[in-house]
Amino acid sequence: MPHPTDDSWTVLGLESSCDDTAAAVLRGTGGGAVILSNIVLGQTELHAAFGGVVPEIAARAHAEKLDLAVEAALESADVTLEQIDAIAVTAGPGLIGGVMAGVMLAKGLAAATGKPMIGVNHLAGHALTPRLTDGVGFPYLMLLVSGGHCQFLQVVGPEDFTRLGGTIDDAPGEAFDKVAKLLGLGQPGGPLVEAEARKGDAKRFSLPRPLLDRPGCDMSFSGLKTAVLRLRDTLVADQGGLHAQDRADICASFQAAMADVLAEKTRRALAQTQAPVLAVAGGVAANQVLRAALEQVAAAAGARFLAPPLKLCTDNAAMIAWAGLERLRMGARDDMSLAARPRWPLDQTASPMLGSGKKGAKA
């Protein structure tokens, strides 16, 4: 039986570098791919099934969940393990226990089936998603905002990324979470702060726009959070408490500051790269105010704005299968020496020279 060309390969993707455990099956077609299944075993399911906690740290628990995720992904795609042509796995960056569990399973499956295996950088998975969802050509500008990440990437090829800048402290999602906590709004902060902000006056309080006066695409959101804390404490001290309207106005002012910073830095990144497309991945695109600000900046620069569906912007294995397929199509293969890499900067060239925040478990 002739083997299908790698263009139409069926790829199993594995992802366990972060909080969630995921598996997906994807089939290549005409340079793109169709997602046959995309299973994410999130924290809720984990909690119910294993009585576990958030986030999942233990390699053992990741391994158990991965088995379940793979079974579900194969079943939902209606393919057998024998029909899989290649296995793609997140090999980093991330928490070591989870990454190791994924890499070990991929090696086991590759050895058992004799099929090729490919290691994928988790961030490359996010960065290449616009090609899976919208068939975008290279190059394009990516604003990648996921979990603790926030960075501008010029995406030139499946293994070719240039980091233009990113947050030097907190990521936007984290700033939303922490502001929500400071204001007693509960978690997750993103949607709750946005809902409050809708009732508020964004002009009542003047909050800082960190790093806006400095050149480049780096961002900082930690000071913004501290400014919210100070504002809250001042209002409480002056009035003996925080009124509902105060809270809404703080949220609106905070969100406006965030929008200004993201928009201005995006404008610079677009000007610097002259990219024809701005792709935005992550929770930022789910916030209507932030999204509108970014859409406006893209339109002004003559760039197409694109935000893949949120389900494919949060951690998932379809993006890993896709990034794997992109590498496989380039002829790349990994062997049993594939290592789990807790640190794995996407932009290898910039790291020794600039060393901007590419160290550590996930950066």
Partner 1 sequence: MMPDQALHLTSPTPDTTAKIAARLGRSLGAGDVILLSGPVGAGKSHFARALIQSRLAALGRHEDVPSPTYTIVQSYDLDGLELWHADLYRLGDASECDELGLIDAFDSAVCLVEWPDRLGALTPKDALHLTLSVQGEARDLRFEARSPRWQARLTEALQP
d(CA 257, CA 251): 10
Please, what is the end-to-end C-alpha distance for the chain in angstroms?
A: 44
Interface with partner 1 (CB under 8 A), residue from 79, 286, 350, 361? 361
| Structural tokens at position 50 | 């294993």
Q: How far is the CB of 105 from partner 1 (least distance, A)?
A: 18
| Touching partner 1, residues 27-56 (CB under 8 A) | 52-55
Range 87-146, binding partner 1 (CB under 8 A): 95-97
Least distance to partner 1 from the beta carbon of 54, Å? Answer: 7
Binding to partner 1, residues 276-305 (CB under 8 A): none
Single out the segment in contact with partner 1 by CB under 8 A; choices: 239-247, 258-266, 316-324, 352-360: 352-360
Token readout for 94 is: 């991330």
Q: Which of residues 255-274 bind partner 1 (CB under 8 A)?
A: none
Tell me the C-alpha distance between 101 and 17, whole Å: 9
Indicate the length of the chain as a whole number: 363
Q: How many residues bind partner 1 (CB under 8 A)?
A: 43
Please identify which residue in 135, 157, 188, 360 interacts with partner 1, judged by CB under 8 A. 360
341 is a contact residue toward partner 1 (CB under 8 A): no
Within 206-225, which residues bind partner 1 (CB under 8 A)? 218, 222, 225
| Span near partner 1 by CB under 8 A; candidates 73-81, 189-197, 288-296, 349-357 | 349-357
Binding status of residue 230 toward partner 1 by CB under 8 A? yes
Does position 348 interact with partner 1 (CB under 8 A)? The reply is no
Selected range binding partner 1 among 66-74, 105-113, 170-178, 298-306, rule: CB under 8 A:
170-178
Find the binder of partner 1 among 58, 68, 72, 286 (CB under 8 A): 58
Cβ 227 to partner 1 shortest distance, Å: 9
- Answer yes or no whether residue 168 interacts with partner 1 by CB under 8 A: yes
Q: Which residues bind partner 1 (CB under 8 A)?
A: 52-55, 57-59, 95-97, 147-148, 166-171, 173-174, 177-178, 181-182, 218, 222, 225-226, 228-230, 233, 342-343, 355-363
